[in-house]
Structure 1
């Protein structure tokens, strides 16, 4: 017997039980009947004494509403709850056969793309990759950019749930890459490995007119030579200028402390900075100012105690050195830190939430201050007469249409001539000049 046939047989029994006042529903192939809860059940009936009656009278005198009204109100509330429970049981969330329940209701879709960055310290071995996979089971992410992968060469590997891309040059050092969920595979445009410190992902996210360029970086430390740091920021600035027409995200381990906002930095930093500014922090600020970028870590208000992203090996120092930067901060809902990631690293994951539905620009409200009479004064009366003549003529519809367009083209802004009014003094001067011109012409004739 099919399930639909069983449901059709049990449906009349469900209706009968509901008429009796019971709660009835079909669960799989069985009828489930429950009696409504009685609020008065369980109360003990006791003999009324004088003391109890006196207390009840005091309570009744204090209360403003009579007992009859409260009883009616409780009866109404119980009936409303029964109706709500019946509606919850009866009505499915989407279209199903008559009398059937939806066994697989649709899941809620997320309204954001989760893009994150993490310094893993190493992903050189397959065991460390499996450890990261296990740690990310309960973490929502669509794209994860990684620093210090420490895998030599440039390679793309497709696994069950994600795509791994990495770029490395020196064995056992540096290396950057991406972990991209398989659901985003069709949106990938290209993956570019610039060096073992910079990689690029160009991706066409749905509902966005322009592609997104995600740049993962691993900057030199404060102890590195200045020439190495300057060369890194020069190449990064050139890449940002190359993709300036796209929506850009620059993220990763910058090994820089930005600190709080200073005067003149309102467009690139938010109110919520953390720590003190270092030498690499000054370089990063110059990069933001040159390319009109915004540091998202400082835009959204968070607890200062939880903003750190790096812990020193001895556990004494905590700094914020992992950042997310963009040229479109309005497209992001939040930027926060994943605190309890079960992975062997002294860095914490930084995750930003990109809106799936980009915000539209608000159109400027055009207020027409001119009245109807002022508009009529602008329109030439002769034009209206010409249009009437064209409509009343014996020409074809196409000829009338062409002639009317020619006439109406006179109403364009470029063709409207504004009336110039002269003052009385200028009019007198014009008359005097005209008289002088006439006198000169008479003398020349004589």
Structure 2
């Protein structure tokens, strides 16, 4: 099974357009939280090429944002995108005007902060077995595939203004989520990690990260490397030109960093 992974940062501008369709699907309770189930009428075969990506969209709350997202994504090939910082509350499931499936997981209080989401192409939506919200920063989706099912964790890490103890709790929650997943699945962990992995880490973390990343690693980058020690951080291995690596740009465009990463077990 060939999987292509991508990452991109969405522009912050609004386009006019209709709102998304009404909520659909079935919501269930499963131990620690609610989740949505799909019909699972379709299986992703090994001969198929599936394109999986992650994108920090800043917000999708304003009118026209979903339509803008669809417009941007229509210009590239994709099957599933994990989205960060979409800032919607609670857990929900919707359809876009083009028929793509959206699942989102936000805060349970009245604050429109954080938020993660999956958007699944209408041609892939019937392969969804389950989508489970863990928190406003972590969400999982499982796809029916052959010979092995695919599970994706979408994560939105804490920014640098949070205490180390909070960051530790965040990684513990991801690890707990990983421990609960089916062991035989192809598992990807991706999202906005608010961390910088640099070329200086390649020698000490050979096999985990490549050389196509930032110049220097920061403290949060070291934390991510420790977490990812048994995986490959795939987008640090791609020989893309710098302008295609950066996923964060400072206001004014003076500074650029790669802070979004996609990880997968080395056996895959």
TM-score normalised by the shorter chain: which range applies? 0.7 to 0.9
TM-score (norm 1): 0.47
In the alignment, does 2:241 pair up with 1:303? yes
Contact 1:167 1:193 in 2 (8 A): yes
The residue number in structure 1 matching 2:159 is 221
Tell me what 2:169 maps to: 231
Verify the 8 A CA contact 1:294 1:329 in the aligned structure 2: no
1:246 maps onto 2:198 in alignment: no
Q: Which residue of 2 aligns with 1:140?
A: 77
- Checking the alignment, whether the CA contact within 8 Å between 1:253 and 1:321 is kept in structure 2 is yes
Q: Using CA pairs below 8 Å that are at least 6 residues apart, which structure has the higher relative contact order?
A: 2
1:117 corresponds to which residue? 54
CA distance in 1, matches of 2:94, 2:63: 12
Q: CA RMSD in A?
A: 1.8
Aligned to 1:167: 105
Where do 5+ consecutive residues of structure 1 fail to align? 1-109, 331-446
Residue deviations 1:300-341, cap 9 Å, x none? 2222343111001132110000111111464xxxxxxxxxxx
Question: Number of aligned pairs?
Answer: 217
Structure 2 Cα separation of the partners of residues 300 and 312 of structure 1 = 23
1:194 matched to which residue of 2? 134
Q: Distance in 2 between matches of 1:146 and 1:304?
A: 22
Q: In the alignment, which residue of structure 2 is the partner of 1:284? A: 224
Supply the distance in 2 between the matched residues of 1:254 and 1:140 (Cα, whole angstroms). 24
CA deviation digits over 1:332-358, x for unaligned, max 9? xxxxxxxxxxxxxxxxxxxxxxxxxxx
Unmatched segments (≥5 aa) in structure 2: 1-46
For residue 149 of structure 1, what is the aligned residue in structure 2? 86
- Equivalent residue of 1:126, what SS? coil
Q: 1:316 aligns with which of 238, 241, 254?
A: 254
State how far apart, in whole Å, the 2-side matches of 1:232 and 1:177 are: 17
- TM-score normalised according to structure 2 size: 0.76
Q: 1:257, 1:281 within 8 Å by CA — same for their partners in 2?
A: yes
More helix by share: 1
- Conserved 8 A contact 2:202-2:210: no
Once the 2 structures are TM-superposed, how far is the Cα of residue 137 of structure 1 from its aligned partner?
A: 2.0
Q: Secondary structure of 2:175's partner?
A: helix
Task: Confirm or deny that 1:131 pairs with 2:71.
Answer: no
Match of 2:122 in 1: 182
